[in-house]
Amino acid sequence: MTFNDLKLSPAILKALDKENYTSPTPIQEQAIPVVLTGKDLFGCAQTGTGKTAAFSLPIVQLLSEQQGKPQGVRRTRSLILTPTRELALQILENIQAYSQFTDLRSVAIVGGVSQKAQERSLERGADVIIATPGRLIDLINQKFVNLQHVQILVLDEADRMLDMGFIHDVKRIITKMPSKKQTLFFSATMPPEISKLVKALLVNPVKVEITPASSTVDRIAQSVYHVEKSDKQGLLNHLLEDPSIVSALVFTRTKHGADRVVRGLNKVNITAQAIHGNKSQNSRQNALSSFKSGATRVLVATDIAARGIDVDELSHVINFNLPNIPETYVHRIGRTGRAGLSGIAISFCESEELPYLKDIQKMIKKTIPVVTDQSDPMLIS
């Protein structure tokens, strides 16, 4: 299939050509026709599948087909809500590229930067606003943003917004919009709270589900150590003696487990911090910033907490515990090897976790090579 088959306008096709996109990804193939017909969409997909273009391209098309500026005023006709600044800015960059041959204007509204520039930008009018919830609410309250004319709402990474405690803000923002609108809802996972939200916010949605591309997994060098539970900490400390592991994200099954691993690492003078649900948002943010800046070498996380983490150029993911759900393994290791970089994923498998390893290998359709280092007494041969 080509983008031409998706009935996208010449202006968009020209932009895609300039971006060197040759053919649509599976989520784009499935979602674009649905969005173009005005239906609500529930997309189950994670970053890396091309989901941004899957919602952005039809939005650009639908909005640019309309007469955009009644009485010369540019009204906000689409709002895209995202959990993180990084994601908002990435989406802005994409939409600006896709709409470069149209008259549309897009603006990002995110926290952590001066509000003044955003106020000035909003005064010029924006067809599309891409925002994180907190700053948007501030600007709505101060009347810099009017959402009365929104026709298309996108909730991107809804599960992360839920995890990060934004859901009340999101609900408040929704009350500022017309009730009749098109809603596009994206989430990588489907916990019960997400199903509830989908039911509350979407009308007869079309569901599009994309499992992570195996190509992502193929790009990552994976290995597994068979090691007893009591030897895992020693093995981790030993592996981290290798200075080529510049930064590592370590996954544990429990919050206590995460704290224990951090203590074990700190004892041998390896800088490490835990990030999990028992910690305040502030302390999680601090741990994350410190990890991103390189001040902390190892971040230890549980799966839930890790969903809020966006780290580019992460070289190593280490599974201190194997997850019992194979998809979780793919999500975890997918945090390395981003943006075409290669990544390394190391897993520790104790005897009780052997069935998990079997399930994972079945799902990724390959056998993860076992490291058998004869000189290492900790390993089970």
Residues that bind ligand AMP (CB under 6 A): 21, 24-25, 28, 47-53, 94
Give the type of residue at 218: D
Instruction: Give the integer Cα–Cα distance in Å for 314 and 293.
Output: 12
Nearest to 80 by CA among 182, 198, 180, 196: 182
Q: Quick check: helix, strand or coil at residue 245?
A: coil
CB of 346 to ligand AMP, least distance (A): 25
Closer CB to ligand AMP, residue 36 or residue 177?
A: 36
Nearest to 84 by CA among 92, 95, 76, 73: 92
CB of 56 to ligand AMP, least distance (A): 8
Six-digit token string for 170? 């999101």
Closer CB to ligand AMP, residue 48 or residue 134?
A: 48
Closer CB to ligand AMP, residue 154 or residue 306?
A: 154
Closer CB to ligand AMP, residue 24 or residue 257?
A: 24
Closer CB to ligand AMP, residue 49 or residue 151?
A: 49
Nearest to 121 by CA among 84, 155, 74, 87: 74
Instruction: Give the integer Cα–Cα distance in Å for 370 and 352.
Output: 16
CB of 7 to ligand AMP, least distance (A): 16
Closer CB to ligand AMP, residue 16 or residue 174?
A: 16
Closest residue to ligand AMP: CB criterion: 52
Instruction: Give the integer Cα–Cα distance in Å for 314 and 295.
Output: 14
Listed in sequence order, the residues at least 6 apart from 361 whose beta carbon sits closer than 8 Å to its beta carbon are 367, 368
> Which H or E run includes 373?
none
CB of 126 to ligand AMP, least distance (A): 21
Give φ, ψ of 363 to 5 degrees.
-70, -45
CB of 342 to ligand AMP, least distance (A): 16
> Which H or E run includes 275?
strand 272-275
Give the strand order in the sheet containing 272-275: 220-226, 343-349, 316-319, 248-251, 298-301, 272-275
Residue owning tokens 């009780």: 352
Nearest to 53 by CA among 156, 149, 139: 156
CB of 6 to ligand AMP, least distance (A): 10
CB of 219 to ligand AMP, least distance (A): 13
Q: Calculate the alpha carbon distances from 190 to 36, 46, 232 in Å.
A: 25, 12, 31
Instruction: Give the integer Cα–Cα distance in Å for 366 and 350.
Output: 19
Six-digit token string for 293? 């800046």
CB of 3 to ligand AMP, least distance (A): 8
Closer CB to ligand AMP, residue 19 or residue 103?
A: 19
Closer CB to ligand AMP, residue 84 or residue 94?
A: 94
Closer CB to ligand AMP, residue 133 or residue 334?
A: 334
Closer CB to ligand AMP, residue 192 or residue 340?
A: 340
CB of 53 to ligand AMP, least distance (A): 4
Neighbours of 207 (CB within 10 A): 14
Q: Are 313 and 342 in contact (CB under 8 A)?
A: no
CB of 94 to ligand AMP, least distance (A): 6
Instruction: Give the integer Cα–Cα distance in Å for 9 and 303.
Output: 41
